[in-house]
Amino acid sequence: MPYKQGMSSLEPDSLDSSLVTLANLYSAKMGVSLWRVGHLAANRGAFFVDLKEKHRHCRTDTYLRVLRWFFEHWPEDLAWPSDIPRPEPPHTL
């Protein structure tokens, strides 16, 4: 998945924090719980709660999969955080 410039850190805490930020913004915008966003984006209700409370870290492949989910479901009227690299849309021929 191609990224725009700006991926400053691949540390687990940084990746986890990025996903929690996206989940909090999405949750607030859509009026759903963090638990519901976990079900939708990661197929696990406690996913973002566990990341937020530092009970676990996500693997890189999980980070990329969840980031892709946010990219595909992000509301058009909600700004993507500037400090989180946003995946570019797939190129079509």
- Residue 69 DSSP code: H
pLDDT of residue 36: 97
Instruction: Return the SS3 of 87.
Output: strand
pLDDT of residue 93: 59
| Segment 1-21, tens digit of pLDDT | 333 334 444 565 788 999 999
Which pTM value belongs to this model? 0.81
pLDDT of residue 2: 39
Sorted by where each begins, the domain ranges of the chain are 12-73
Sign of the CA dihedral running 21, 26, 28, 29: positive
| Segment 27-75, tens digit of pLDDT | 999 999 999 999 999 999 999 999 998 888 888 899 999 999 999 999 9
DSSP per-residue codes, 16-65: HHHHHHHHHHHHHHHT--HHHHHHHHHS-TTHHHHHHTTS----HHHHHH
